[in-house]
Amino acid sequence: MSTATAAHDDHHDHGAPAGLMRWVYTTNHKDIGTLYLWFSFVMFMIGGSFAMVIRAELFMPGMQVVDPQFFNSMTTMHGLLMVFGAIMPAMVGLANWQIPLMIGAPDMALPRMNNWSFWILPFAGTMLLSTMFMEGGGPAFGWTFYAPLSTTFAPDSTDFFIFAIHMLGFSSIMGSINVIATVLNMRAPGMTLMKMPLFVWTWLITAFLLIAVMPVLAGAVTMMLTDRNFGTSFFSAAGGGDPVMFQHVFWFFGHPEVYIMILPAFGVVSQIIPTFARKPLFGYASMVYATASIAFLSFIVWAHHMFTVGMPVAGELYFMYATVMIAVPTAVKVFNWAATMWRGSMTFEPPMLWALAFVFLFTLGGFTGLMMGVAPSDMQYHDTYFIVAHFHYVLVTGALFGIIAAVYYWLPKWTGYYPDDRLSKLHFWWSAISVNVLFFPQHFLGLAGMPRRIPDYSLQFADWNMVSSIGGFAFGLGQVFFFFIIVKTIRGGEKATDECWEDAQGLEWTIASPAPYHTFVTPPEIK
């Protein structure tokens, strides 16, 4: 190796694996963060193509593109891939890249486990996708896989689905252990808990949520497995069990899960808004407490997904009040973001545009959530497209916009280059407009009574479905464009200074951690 290369190609000096093997053996938080983010992008593209199939079938009434069974497997796999393959791994990727830099740690606390957490994912994702090619077809019971659809009436491939869910949960739990161990043990001197950047706080709390609920999900799928193969009747009324219990177990996992997907996005937005408003975050401590309260409340509201199963009125009232209470800490956050911008010197670089869209559109999704939390109203919305509209505002213009904002915000730090300003802004406006064309009409469809998860519908729903599909195709196309912007940024562009977004005087504290050297191969200086 020439000395010229060696001078700035640090990780080659130690005889560490190069080329493809670098990625297989890596224990470096930046490499692993990159792997997570690219894996997430691939899943996002596959899950997105399934969404395109859904919107193509729903473009007009009548059956034209796919058969109903395949349509059901599309809605199921779209949900599963986006939740477990795209959003969650993207958040873990951001955590890997940023948490060590933001607390002054040289790497994650458990670098070898970090490698394992990631490398489980491609196998779990492949196994999940492979079910679609199995005899009897893949899972077609919705991402919530309610029993008995997923037990008595499901194809054999469901056992592979169960195993894939187990592996995905394994990966999440190990990732969370790593985040907690890193944040609690590896902060630089002076970096007290209440000085940590908000992104680190939200991820610390998210990690506890994950460790609490992933085993519950594992329990749910294990009970499914034994019901299906070993003669138990957890969810079968015929054997003394109860299918409604499946819903309780699932949503005890599932509700905290939605906060797992949104809390890190809250963290991202709390980093970006102060930077481009040129003011410190308003109400730092209240942000931390609000995040913790949201996390706590997320455990005690699960049955708001089940208002129509026939609960006692006292139960309905309890879950209604508990749910509506979450609006309080959430409003504290939105207030703090607004107060941070109040009389700030705001500029609207691409990360700020995505963060602002997040504040407006996530809040809109929050409001429809409030509507659904009111039990008597939810009787009307239940299982309609209103629900679909709601959770896509929360997860697309919420979680996904948060991830995209983070990518634009931190790309200069990661690659050394700013993303192309004009193309980035085009990507933003294209996406912000099309996403509303896609999801806003679904509110109308739902309120008019269109059920969710159906491949065909009555004539009166035709117009808004066509509008929604056009928005869907446009939004999908916009994200292919995002791919080119990222690749272009990696390959070069306007050089970023040490102080990224320098004009904005980035208010967040990060260190320059060393170039990748941790791998399974021991570096020579330690031998």
In the set 11, 78, 427, 518, the catalytic residue is 78
Told to check if 255 binds Cu ion by CB under 5 A, we report yes
Told to check if 30 binds Cu ion by CB under 5 A, we report no
Q: Report the sign of the C-alpha dihedral through residues 192, 194, 196, 201, in that order.
A: positive
Contact string (CB under 5 A) for Cu ion, positions 157-186, x = contact: ------------------------------
In the set 76, 171, 206, 368, the catalytic residue is 171
CB of 208 to Cu ion, least distance (A): 18
Token look-up 């896509």 returns: 392
Q: Is 29 a catalytic residue?
A: no
**Across the strands, what pairs with 384?**
451
Contact 126, 66 (CB under 8 A): no
In the set 11, 30, 333, 427, the catalytic residue is 333
Nearer of residues 255 and 413 to Cu ion, judged by Cβ: 255
In the set 22, 425, 452, 488, the catalytic residue is 452
CB of 264 to Cu ion, least distance (A): 18
Nearer of residues 55 and 255 to Cu ion, judged by Cβ: 255
Nearer of residues 78 and 255 to Cu ion, judged by Cβ: 255
Token look-up 């902060």 returns: 187
Q: Is 418 a catalytic residue?
A: no
Rounded to whole angstroms, how far apart are CA atoms 326 and 336? 16
Contact string (CB under 5 A) for Cu ion, positions 209-238, x = contact: ------------------------------
Q: Is 172 a catalytic residue?
A: yes
Q: Which stretch binds Cu ion (CB under 5 A): 10-18, 140-148, 250-258, 350-358?
A: 250-258
Contacts of 391 (CB under 8 A, 6+ apart): 258, 365
In the set 304, 382, 392, 443, the catalytic residue is 304
Segments of 229-382 assigned E as strands: none
Q: What sections of 342-461 are H helices per DSSP?
A: 350-373, 375-381, 385-394, 401-415, 421-447
Told to check if 390 binds Cu ion by CB under 5 A, we report no
In the set 29, 305, 427, 518, the catalytic residue is 305
In the set 23, 38, 143, 509, the catalytic residue is 143
Rounded to whole angstroms, how far apart are CA atoms 197 and 506? 12
Nearer of residues 186 and 327 to Cu ion, judged by Cβ: 327
Q: Is 143 a catalytic residue?
A: yes
Q: Is 78 a catalytic residue?
A: yes
Rounded to whole angstroms, how far apart are CA atoms 325 and 135? 46
Q: Is 498 a catalytic residue?
A: no
Rounded to whole angstroms, how far apart are CA atoms 128 and 136? 15
Rounded to whole angstroms, how far apart are CA atoms 261 and 266? 10
Rounded to whole angstroms, how far apart are CA atoms 218 and 497? 46
List phi, psi (to 5°) of 69: -65, -45
Query: What separation in angstroms does the CA of 367 have from each of 364, 370, 384, 394?
Result: 5, 5, 17, 10
Q: Is 305 a catalytic residue?
A: yes
What angle (nearest 5°) sits at the alpha carbon of residue 424, between those of residues 398 and 94? 50
Nearer of residues 147 and 301 to Cu ion, judged by Cβ: 301
CB of 443 to Cu ion, least distance (A): 18
Token look-up 């993303």 returns: 419
Indicate the residue type of 374: V
Q: Which stretch binds Cu ion (CB under 5 A): 254-262, 271-279, 326-334, 471-479?
A: 254-262
DSSP code, position 451: B
Nearer of residues 80 and 154 to Cu ion, judged by Cβ: 80
Q: Is 430 a catalytic residue?
A: no
List phi, psi (to 5°) of 45: -70, -40
**Across the strands, what pairs with 495?**
417
Long-range Cβ contact pairs of 188-197 (< 8 A, separation 24 or more): 188/103, 188/104, 188/105, 188/511, 191/103, 191/104, 194/284, 194/285, 194/288, 196/102, 196/103, 197/102, 197/103, 197/267, 197/271, 197/508, 197/509
Nearer of residues 145 and 461 to Cu ion, judged by Cβ: 145
Contact 425, 350 (CB under 8 A): yes
CB of 355 to Cu ion, least distance (A): 24
Q: Is 55 a catalytic residue?
A: no
In the set 25, 36, 119, 259, the catalytic residue is 259
CB of 234 to Cu ion, least distance (A): 22
CB of 474 to Cu ion, least distance (A): 29
Q: Is 270 a catalytic residue?
A: yes
CB of 504 to Cu ion, least distance (A): 36
Assigned token pair, 467 = 């509008």
When CB distances to Cu ion are compared, the closest residue is: 255
Nearer of residues 228 and 255 to Cu ion, judged by Cβ: 255
List phi, psi (to 5°) of 397: -75, -10
In the set 176, 270, 431, 469, the catalytic residue is 270
Number of residues counted as binding Cu ion (CB under 5 A): 1
Nearer of residues 255 and 518 to Cu ion, judged by Cβ: 255
CB of 373 to Cu ion, least distance (A): 8
In the set 30, 228, 255, 413, the catalytic residue is 255
Assigned token pair, 108 = 């994650």
Q: Which stretch binds Cu ion (CB under 5 A): 164-172, 203-211, 252-260, 313-321?
A: 252-260
Q: Is 8 a catalytic residue?
A: no
Contacts of 62 (CB under 8 A, 6+ apart): 456
Distance of CA 262 to the CA centre of its chain: 7
Q: Which stretch binds Cu ion (CB under 5 A): 86-94, 235-243, 248-256, 273-281?
A: 248-256
CB of 181 to Cu ion, least distance (A): 29
Q: Which stretch binds Cu ion (CB under 5 A): 157-165, 230-238, 247-255, 328-336?
A: 247-255
CB of 337 to Cu ion, least distance (A): 23
Under the rule (CB under 5 A), what is the footprint of Cu ion?
A: 255
Please identify every residue annotated as catalytic.
Answer: 78, 107, 143, 171-172, 255, 257, 259, 270, 304-305, 330, 333, 452
